[in-house]
């Protein structure tokens, strides 16, 4: 028998979010970022829901291989570019586009003598200090790429924001200024905004926006939910109660006796744990839904099981559905309790969770 933990992925919600983000980005085009297996929702499943996207953004060539094998003909951009010189031929074979962010990649391109024109996205480090060429080198690198016959004539100029979710701070303004100065006079479309950039920085709209978290109905701003931004959460994680026990006052629950019953009370055991990807860091008091009512998690999350305080659900029965997060219980609330972000929750679900399309 399969595990009881099930992730329901709502295809209609993915399509709704995509359409809404496209409208927000217009007249810019929208890259749908589906790396990390579609933020844990399933790479091919998400791509199918977003059929006809202006482009897909992935982290690795292997993702492009999967998408092409599934029949997707949309533009696909490998966001970290080639990892070695041999990758260039595979990028061309699959008709993938590459972000170029480092001198090593530039040298591999310059060492080529033949090859069909490869579409390039030139990354500028405007202040994130993770990947990209320093602003003072962008004109030089752009010129070197433009001279190569096996590089497509249209080079997209891009950058990535470090704090675009902090609307009241100057960090993003400084990055926009640095990017504009570095690319002034250079030909090619511009791509600056991620999901938060779309929400809060109209000046950074550019020619291409790149949406990740919001596609899945996940918030990109602390203290907000995806629904607060007009998006629909696309994943609902649930399981079942497999036991209900009466535990006496003063007795402890779970590993290390981390929670003590304040009175005689019913304790439910849900068939889910960190082996399924539910965060072990979720503390006592983290909410779950049982019969439409919130009840708190108690004790330590174990590999396969999680204990629940059922005092507010006295009519609960073995077999009842337990919702860990979803449209009715935002993943952001669970993530905040666990000291993480909603992206990590969805990306962290393991292979023993059964995925179903809703």
Question: How far is it, in rounded angstroms, from Cα 252 to Cα 298?
Answer: 10
pLDDT (tens digit, 9 = 90+) per residue, 68-114? 999 999 999 999 999 999 999 999 999 999 999 999 999 999 999 88
Fold of the 235-357 domain: Lyase, Ornithine Decarboxylase; Chain A, domain 1 (2.40.37)
Q: Give residue 114's pLDDT.
A: 84
Q: CATH says 11-225 is which class?
A: alpha beta
Q: By percentage, how much of the chain surpasses pLDDT 70? A: 99
Nearest to 182 by CA among 134, 122, 121, 131: 134
Mean pLDDT estimate for the chain = 97
Domain boundaries, the chain: 11-225, 235-357
Does residue 1 have a pLDDT over 70?
A: no
Q: Are strands 235-247 and 321-325 parallel, antiparallel or unpaired?
A: antiparallel
Q: How many Cβ atoms sit within 10 Å of the Cβ of residue 131? A: 17
Question: How far is it, in rounded angstroms, from Cα 88 to Cα 104?
Answer: 13
Q: Which residues are catalytic?
A: 35, 255
Q: Give residue 113's pLDDT.
A: 84
| pTM, rounded to two decimals | 0.95
pLDDT (tens digit, 9 = 90+) per residue, 15-45? 999 999 999 999 999 999 999 999 999 999 9
pLDDT (tens digit, 9 = 90+) per residue, 294-343? 999 999 999 999 999 999 999 999 999 999 999 999 999 999 999 999 99
Task: Outline where 122-271 has alpha helix (H).
Answer: 138-146, 171-183, 195-200
Nearest to 194 by CA among 217, 170, 220: 220
Rounded to the nearest angstrom, the gap between the alpha carbon of residue 219 and the centroid of all alpha carbons in its chain is: 10
pLDDT (tens digit, 9 = 90+) per residue, 42-74? 999 999 999 999 999 999 999 999 999 999 999
At 348, which helix (H) or strand (E)?
Answer: none
The pLDDT confidence band at residue 2, using thresholds 50, 70 and 90, is low
């Amino acid at each position: 028998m399969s595990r009881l933990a099930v992730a329901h992925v709502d295809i209609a919600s993915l399509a709704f979010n995509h359409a809404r983000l496209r409208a927000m980005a217009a007249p810019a085009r929208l890259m749908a970022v589906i790396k990390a297996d579609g933020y844990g929702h399933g790479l091919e499943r998400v791509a199918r829901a977003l059929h006809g996207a202006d482009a897909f953004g992935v982290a690795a060539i292997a993702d492009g291989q999967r998408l092409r094998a599934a029949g997707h003909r949309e533009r696909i951009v490998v966001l970290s570019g080639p990892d070695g010189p041999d990758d260039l031929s595979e990028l061309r074979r699959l008709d993938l586009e590459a972000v170029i962010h480092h001198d090593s990649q530039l040298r591999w391109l310059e060492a080529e003598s033949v090859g069909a024109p490869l579409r390039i996205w030139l990354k500028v480090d405007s202040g994130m200090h993770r990947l990209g060429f320093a602003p003072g080198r962008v004109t030089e690198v752009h010129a070197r790429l433009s001279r190569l016959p096996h590089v497509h004539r249209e080079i997209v100029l891009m950058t990535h924001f470090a704090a675009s979710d902090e609307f009241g701070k100057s960090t993003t303004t400084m990055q926009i200024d640095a990017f504009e100065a570095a690319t002034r006079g250079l030909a090619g479309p511009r791509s600056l905004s991620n999901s938060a950039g779309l929400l809060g920085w109209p000046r950074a709209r550019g020619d291409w926006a790149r949406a990740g978290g919001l596609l899945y109905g996940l918030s990109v701003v602390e203290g907000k939910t995806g629904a607060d931004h007009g998006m629909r959460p696309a994943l609902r994680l649930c399981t079942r109660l497999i036991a209900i026990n009466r535990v006496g006052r003063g007795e402890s629950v779970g590993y290390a006796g981390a929670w003590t019953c304040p009175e005689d009370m019913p304790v439910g055991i849900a068939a889910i744990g960190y082996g399924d990807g539910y965060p072990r860091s979720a503390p006592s008091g983290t909410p779950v839904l049982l019969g439409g009512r919130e009840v708190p998690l108690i004790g330590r999350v174990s590999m396969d099981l999680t204990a629940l305080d059922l005092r507010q659900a006295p009519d609960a029965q073995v077999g009842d559905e337990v919702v860990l997060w979803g449209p009715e219980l935002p993943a952001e609330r669970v993530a905040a309790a666990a000291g993480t972000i909603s992206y990590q929750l969805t990306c962290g679900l393991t292979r023993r969770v059964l995925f179903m399309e809703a």
